[in-house]
Structure 1
């Protein structure tokens, strides 16, 4: 009897010992993992500062130059207008210039939010390339379409790039990707276009560059579907 009890005690102790080993193995915070987590966090913060952070600084500087140009009756370098083949520098500068503080702060908020999310799985170079290209294409689309239906308008601001970043985050996340991968390419394209139109209508107004918003949203939707900003 005593030997049987002893064997049971030894068995319980053995199970407890093995359980403690399992618990130690499952512990998430080892020194190496902690260092990797810290390094990863610092890398993400660095990408935010070098990505959306730089965009915000450039937006502020170029917008200030634009307002100074208004005082000097010369805003041509900072406003994209027809013909697009002349004064090529208007294409990049117009993305960063804004008509006033409300215009600047509104776009800055959108870019700070969605740019920080997008750069989480991207590189700084990919982010800036996407930002400037989507912004320039959106601005050019606004000028070309208004010129095709009437007097060619002018445009400035980063809202096209901001809409592209917003749509990229909306389409590229895991939930949206799971949904879009379960349907055909045609259906996925229809959903992306519908989302782009819906976001454009949500922000539409007479004094708003609606074509630029739609173009930016479509660019972001396509980029999000193919995960073009992901660096791995």
Structure 2
């Protein structure tokens, strides 16, 4: 009888502990879903809304508010709007796919605020680099789209993962910088072409690569 009582009490204890583990697992899954919806989910929704407004503006011959142009200080609102605006459905769907994939991976270990700051800042810097570079070369071109941000998120994920961190921890700072630069150039070359924001892609990949090395999206 004593042995049976001990077994019975033990089974009760195990049953009581089970809901706590289930609650912890449920809480973790809920946090991830919240980050995905409030992070990449919101970004993709804004991209769709602003792109639709851009297409409406194109039809009305008034798309200037959505296209980043030189000088950058003249119409400041072009900086944030141009990140979310896209020239057409193929342009939007291509960038949205990359952001849905790599943005989701980055958002899992990032705070929502850090994700959105990184999204908009990397996009604006990449767009500004494109506009300034093309103007300096005598072939001024406007900036439009989140491809710089998409490249930044891709590079961030590739550099900040545990495998890459394991490698970077065992090589010199010079080698690390060289590897990040090589990765950024390689990513930008995969999408290089005529009428493509090559400078924006390279700038975004550089921003994401070095941001990934320092894990700036992870909450402290």
Q: Which residue of 2 aligns with 1:118?
A: 106
* Residues in 2 aligned to 1:31 and 1:96: alpha-carbon distance in whole angstroms: 43
* Residues in 1 aligned to 2:108 and 2:187: alpha-carbon distance in whole angstroms: 23
* Counterparts of residues 86-165 of structure 1 (less than 5 Å): 86-165=74-153
Q: Which residue of 2 aligns with 1:58?
A: 46
CA shift, 1:149, in A, is: 0.9
Deviations 1:23-79 (A, max 9, x none): x99xxx832121111111011101100000000000000000000001110111000
SS of alignment partner, residue 54 of structure 2: helix
* Residues in 1 aligned to 2:32 and 2:171: alpha-carbon distance in whole angstroms: 33
* Residues in 1 aligned to 2:146 and 2:104: alpha-carbon distance in whole angstroms: 15
Matched, 1:73 2:61: yes
* Residues in 2 aligned to 1:153 and 1:100: alpha-carbon distance in whole angstroms: 17
Structure of greater Rg: 1
CA shift, 1:151, in A, is: 2.5
SS of alignment partner, residue 71 of structure 2: coil
* Residues in 2 aligned to 1:231 and 1:113: alpha-carbon distance in whole angstroms: 21
Q: 2:36 aligns with which of 44, 48, 65?
A: 48
Q: 1:31 aligns with which of 12, 15, 19?
A: 19
Q: Tell me the number of residue pairs that the alignment of Structure 1 and Structure 2 aligns.
A: 210
Gaps of 5+ in 2: 1-9
* Residues in 2 aligned to 1:219 and 1:32: alpha-carbon distance in whole angstroms: 41
Q: Which residue of 2 aligns with 1:179?
A: 167
Gaps of 5+ in 1: 1-20
Q: 1:224 aligns with which of 212, 217, 220?
A: 212
Matched, 1:193 2:190: no
CA shift, 1:152, in A, is: 1.6
Moved over 4 A (4+): none
Per the normalisation by structure 1, the TM-score is: 0.87
* Residues in 1 aligned to 2:18 and 2:130: alpha-carbon distance in whole angstroms: 54
Per the normalisation by structure 2, the TM-score is: 0.92
CA shift, 1:155, in A, is: 1.1
SS of alignment partner, residue 30 of structure 1: helix
CA RMSD of aligned residues (A): 1.8
